[in-house]
Amino acid sequence: MDQNPTPSFPANAFRRQDETPDAAFYQSPRFVAHIDEGAIAAVTQLYREFFPKDGELLDLMSSWISHLPPEVPYRRVVGLGMNEAELKANPRLARFVVQDLNQNPTLPFADNEFDGAAICVSIDYLTQPVAVLRELARVLRPEAPLVITFSNRCFPSKAIAAWHALDDRGHLALVRQFLLAAGGWHGIELLDRSPNPRRSDPLFAVVGRVEKEASS
Ligand SMILES: C[S@@+](CC[C@H](N)C(=O)[O-])C[C@H]1O[C@@H](n2cnc3c(N)ncnc32)[C@H](O)[C@@H]1O
């Protein structure tokens, strides 16, 4: 028997209560923090640990805050999200792209363009997460880290059905399955970085590294 089959998902795992185009939902900017201070600090600490100083980073599903460590310089941070005003207000972004990944999961970046990528409190809104993660493996350099973080809150009408069906542990396992299905990822770690579960929003992370040959 195959011990490591490529996971597949039933189509209705990706249905959402609100299946109207995401552009309408994200039309107005939301200058809010989607997780509390403690959880944000946990995200920032992960970035400190995984993203190389002076690297080129991609903040996917970005808004007006990227949670990057303020003391660490990066050569270039590029954001992709749905709301132009939010992205324009993000002081860490050198460049941004407005793109609906549920309509077009192809990333508008070159192969091997980035040294790291982040998806913060947003993976649950992707209806084609496997296609997006496959694209991320293409645009990241060999061994570059992808840090996917999430808490226990969401916009319920826009989160996929599979997310609603699972608890925190299930979410970690699901995101790992997305990476396995995409292929091109290794060293996948499932982390609980909740600062203090009783006082702060919990914070979970799935981290993977790109597995591919360095191009000459
Ligand atoms: C809960 S917010 C998180 C924003 C930011 N990552 C943060 O940590 O504050 C969800 C983000 O996902 C982005 N997003 C949602 N649906 C998307 C889609 N279909 N394509 C691209 N980005 C999307 C939105 O623009 C929004 O910025």
Asked if residue 9 belongs to a domain, the reply is no
Average pLDDT estimate for 12-28: 96
Count of positions (residues) in the chain: 216
Is 100 part of a structural domain of the chain? yes
Strand positions, DSSP E, the chain: 56-60, 76-81, 95-98, 116-120, 145-150, 185-192, 204-210
**Beta-carbon neighbour count of residue 103 at 10 Å?**
11
Q: How do residues 46-73 score in pLDDT, each as one tens digit?
A: 999 999 999 999 999 999 999 999 999 9
Per the structure, the complete domain to which residue 82 belongs is given by: 18-210
Whole-model pTM: value is: 0.96
CATH of the domain at 140: 3.40.50.150
User: Do residues 193 and 203 touch, judged by C-beta distance below 8 A?
Assistant: yes
Give the mutation target among 36, 82, 104, 153 for probing the ligand 1 site: most ligand atoms within 8 A of CB: 82
Residue 216's pLDDT band, with cuts at 50, 70 and 90, is low
Which band of pLDDT confidence, cut at 50, 70 and 90, is reported for residue 32? confident
- Decide if 150 is inside a domain: yes
- Total domains in the chain come to 1
Q: Confirm whether 108 is domain-assigned.
A: yes
Structure tokens at 55: 């690297």
Contact 153, 35 (CB under 8 A): yes
Phi, psi torsion values for 207, nearest 5 degrees: -120, 135
Tell whether 7 is covered by a domain: no
Q: Give domain status of residue 178, yes or no.
A: yes
pLDDT digit string (tens) for 79-126? 999 999 999 999 999 999 999 999 999 999 999 999 999 999 999 999
Question: Rounded CA gap, 61 and 117, in Å?
Answer: 11
pLDDT band at 198 (very low <50, low <70, confident <90, very high): confident
Establish if 86 belongs to a structural domain.
Answer: yes
**From 107-111, 175-179, 196-200, the region with the lowest mean pLDDT:** 196-200
Q: Which atom of ligand 1 is nearest to the CA of 63?
A: 27
Please indicate, yes or no, if residue 32 is contained in any of the structural domains: yes
Is any atom of ligand 1 closer than 6 Å to the C-beta of 125? Answer: yes
